[in-house]
Structure formats: structure tokens, C-alpha cells
Chains A and B, each alone.
Chain A
């Protein structure tokens, strides 16, 4: 199924839990050598489940997945030799020191001791833990543990590295330096990286290609630029003193302007235009001519944020805050989804 440069090949992959939970719902994609490929999706989208299948921890219920040319179901030990995983949940051992954790990882991955020693020093330096390496991990902060986890995943220089939410819980500084490390890795070693995230900015800065995943399905797959282009224009958010049907009708009649959502929300109307630089003056002129009091105007250039909204019908942030009841009301979500498209 895969061509020469394909490192991860997934075809109609499926994981159904308990007969009814479609954690991964027939997804297909390929990741090429040296590529940073990202899965972007909200909580419960199926990101970890996909990684878990690709890293031979979980068996798929359908479809096919190959990593480095080996079937993850039939040849798990071959797959394991070539991959590294930095899991979402921390797995470092609290009762060992940072260095001991690294040494253990080196032994588990068959790195010769003298070589491991060298790499451990390098990696601890890289994740800025060299000074804390002798301390027990139970004295580390959450971010330090996460960085140690990343260093562990790199000790055997895997051909493919799986990063499940690599910067979850890190502060902005650490996150940025983590991004630098990941980019550096890619440049220097041509390592293939598969990462998952629900941070748009992370996907945007790091990934060569992004798959947007929601409810177990890949609903869009493109370069960050390509995804933004698919949004097809800017969004202008106009806040008026009082929104009514007349104003909405006026907007609908403006040339080259699409009223998003169909209604105002909190006296705000969202307008989509091909180019805001050009349209904004005209739109405002129209409002003023009709004596509509404009309170504020915001312009959103195409961002991944918007692409996400466009494809999933909701903002990623919304979902994070209400992740508790994500499964509660699928109908409502579908409705919104259709309306927006």
C-alpha cells in the first residue's frame, strides 16, 4: 500500500470500543519520511487511540496500518524497534533520578552503555534538565517530567517519533523551546514525527501537514497554508448597538459578502469576505449610510483557528471548556455543522 518514502501508512483504520464507541472511524493517511505530521483535534477525537494503534499498544478493529513498512498487527516487534513514543500520560519513574530514568530507557532500547551515556548528557542538556538530572523525579515539576519524557523518547534516535500532546501542560516559554527542539530534530536528523495536539498554534508552527480529526474521522488533511486557503477569505465581525432583521437583510444584500451563522449573536454579525482590506470600507460605509451605530469591528485573517471552525463547525476552544459533555448532544453539533457549511 505504501510507496518508498512512506513511513506511516494508514488505510481505513478503525477502532470500535465496546461495540459502539467509534474512537477511530475509518481513517486513511500517509506520512512521508522526514515529515512532521500533526493530528489536530479536540478531546476525545481519537488522537491517542490512533497513536496507540500505531505504536502497537492497541489492536485496531478494522483497516490496516503500517509503520516503516511493517504491519502493526502482524509485526509489532519490528515496528517497536524503529519507533519512539512520548505518551500523553507521564510514564517516567518517580522513584528514580532523571538520569536513571534515561539509563533505563537506553537499556530497554538496546543503546550500548557508552553511547547511551553520551546521548543522555546531550539530551538532558537539550531539555534543560542537566542540573536536575541527579534528583529524584518525584521532586520534578510537571513540565520537567514532560521534558524528561521527551528526552527519553529520543534516546535511541528512532526513525519515527510519536508525540502525543508534547506540550500539554507546559508554560509558554517551555512550549516554545519544545517547538524549537522538535524543529531542530527534524532538520538535523530527518526524523519523521507524528504528533497530536489540540493547540492550533502548535500545529501551525510545527507541522508540514495537518490532519483535522474529530469524532474519529479525519475531516481535512492539508498543509497549514492549504487549510487556511480552504477557508476562502477573511471574517469580519461587526458589533452594532442593536442588531435586528433589517440590518441582517442589508448585510445579505451586500455584494461579495456572506453572512455567517445567519443571525447575530450578542449584537455581533460575522461576515465572510474574500479580502477584508478591500471590503471593510464599503461595508462600513453601508452601515453608516443606514444610520446603524457600529460599536466595534474585528477582522480575522484566515487562521488555522478558522479552518478548524470551518471544518468541524465549532471552535476548538469552545470544545475544550465543555469537554465534559462532548458526547451528550451530537445532534446539535451536527446541526451547526451543516448550517455553517
Chain B
């Protein structure tokens, strides 16, 4: 099982890093969001202009500025997109016969979605790292603010950060890979993914502070898996629970449950899709 998994993961990654456009996108997509959304959409200014005396950390999940707040959310955002591409790639594999090659091969059926989930995770984690490094290095550019870590940020916090992202990445990849296996038509798959992506993103506190949301949206956002992730990560990055919705432990539990549910759902769907017709 290990040998074939490694071979399949290597194959997915080769297809990825050998495509120059993909590599360019890995850097430009977060750059665009961070610059145009993060820097331009500086809603922290509003509070300063109005001199309201609000503790911005209450609004920005512990961060003192919007950019730091959204940079953490951006990592979740990138995970979402990377995972969704993995789901689409498996549909292409069906189209080009690669999937049927795997189905004839003497490998456990589980290896097929599992290898894709792992390669997806490698890609998405790398991209999340790029986001964090880019966001932090903005401070080097005159006139821009960067992602500001708390001075107490240490190895344990970094490990916690990774854990949140990994759990999210696994859950999302499980969901999208299963969808990619079940749905056999690109348009339907893209439509379905859009239907999921948009609300997942914008009913979470990834880019928009929860306090700014109307009540009904806040209620939804509080149960959005991405909210658990960014809420937990912000507490680790900014070293404070000010402005947090849950404790870090609750956040972990929340995203853990989401991941487990997606793996379960994914397993059911994938099994069905890989059954012989």
C-alpha cells in the first residue's frame, strides 16, 4: 500500500510543480489577495478616523490591524482553493482513462482517494506557507504593513497552526476528492464546488470580522468550519484570546469534527463511485 501511495502522490506532485503556470499562481494568487484585499480594504482605518476608542483587537480576533487579521484568514482561503483543484483533477483522471488504469491495478481501492488527499494536502500546506511568508515579509516593503506575529509566538504555536491547517486541508480534500470521483461532468462539478466555496468562505470570519456581521450571518459563521480554523490560528499567531469566539481547544475540536465528518462522507461517496457499474 505504501509504495503505490508514494508513487501516486509523486505523480500528482510532478504534474503540479512541472506546470509553470501553477507555480506562478501559487505566488500571484495570494499576492493579489493580500495586496488588493488585505492592504486596500483597510477597514481598521475607519475606527481610527472615527476615533471611536474601540479596541481593534476585539474586532480583528486579537490582531491590531486588518491586514494581519485577513492574512491568517487567507491561509484558510488558499487551503480551500488548493483542495478544490485536487477534486477537479480526479475528474480529469477519469476523463483521460488514468482512473480506469488505477481501477485495474492490484491496489487497495482506498489508495486512490487517499493518495489524492495527501498530495492535495502537500500542495495546500505549501501554499499556506507561501501566504504566511509573503504576508509577514510585507513589512519589509516601505508603506505596507505586514502580518505581525505576537512576540511570544513559538514552536508550539507554529505546530498548532500547522495542525489547524492540516485538519482543514484533510477535511476539504476528502470532500472535494470524493465529489470529483462521484460527479462525472465538469460543469456540474464546478457548479457544485462554487456552490460550496462561496458560502464556506464568506460566511466565515476568514476575511470579514464576525462582529461586523448581521446576527443571522454571525450565527452561521459561528458554525462554519473555517471560522474554527481561523479563530484558533489567530489566537496562536497573536498570542491572545481577546476577540476570539472559542477557546483554542474548542476550535480544534470543531475542525476535528468537521474533518472526521468529511472523511466519513468522502469514504461513503468514494466507495460508491469506485464500485463497478
Spell out A's residues near B (CB within 8 Å). Answer: 55-59, 76-77, 80-81, 83, 85, 87, 89-91, 93-96, 100, 103-104, 107-110
Contacts and interface: CB of A to CB of B under 8 A. Distances in A.
A59 B97 contact: no
A107 B276 contact: no
Nearest to B108: A77
B96 A109 contact: no
Nearest to A95: B15
17 contacts: A55-B104, A56-B103, A57-B103, A58-B276, A77-B106, A80-B104, A83-B104, A87-B101, A91-B97, A95-B15, A104-B11, A108-B7, A108-B8, A108-B107, A109-B105, A110-B4, A110-B106
B271 to A, nearest CB: 14
Contacts of B15: 93, 95-96
Interface in B26-67: none
B97 A104 contact: no
Nearest to B6: A107
B277 A58 contact: yes
Contact of A100 (B14, B97, B101, B103): B14
Chain A facing B: main interface SS: loop
A107 B4 CA distance: 5
Given A80-B106, A109-B106, A57 B11 contact: no
B276 A87 contact: no
B105 A93 contact: no
Contacts of B105: 80, 108-109
Contacts of A95: 14-15, 18-19
Contacts of A56: 103-104, 276
Interface string B81-120: 0000000000000001110111111110000000000000
A85 B101 CA distance: 8
A151 B96 CA distance: 19
Across the A-B interface, the 10 shortest Cβ-Cβ residue pairs: A107-B7, A91-B97, A80-B106, A108-B105, A91-B101, A95-B15, A81-B106, A59-B276, A89-B97, A85-B104
B195 interface: no
B249 interface: no
A85 B106 CA distance: 12
A91 B252 CA distance: 42
A36 B158 CA distance: 61
